[in-house]
């Protein structure tokens, strides 16, 4: 049911950020995986996030090395918070 609601909202051009948790997927056991998933979903809709992540890459910093605090700040910034 949740997938249908997400699909419908996306067809109406509403930005929806979601996470489906599956116990059998190891990445789901870490909160940083959720933050990365949400940032990926917001990325194409946020010019601010695109610029911020490009700046991180220019500093020769791997995006995988960003801390949960960094990712949370980036997500908050991208959402206008």
> Which percentage of the chain shows pLDDT scores above 70?
88
Q: Which segment of 11-20, 24-33, 70-79 scores lowest on mean pLDDT?
A: 24-33
Distance CA 59, CA 12 (A): 38
Would you say residue 27 has pLDDT above 70?
no
| Number of C-beta neighbours around residue 65 at 10 A | 8
- Residue 47 tokens read as 């010019």
pLDDT the model gives residue 5: 93
pLDDT the model gives residue 61: 67
Its pTM stands at: 0.65
């Amino acid at each position: 049911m949740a997938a249908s609601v997400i699909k419908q909202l996306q067809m109406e051009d509403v930005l929806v950020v979601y996470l489906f948790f599956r116990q059998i997927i190891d990445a789901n056991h870490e909160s940083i995986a959720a933050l990365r998933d949400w940032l990926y979903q917001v990325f194409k809709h946020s010019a601010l996030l695109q610029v911020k992540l490009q700046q991180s890459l220019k500093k020769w910093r791997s995006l995988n090395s960003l801390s949960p605090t960094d990712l949370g700040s980036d997500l908050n910034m991208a959402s206008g918070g």
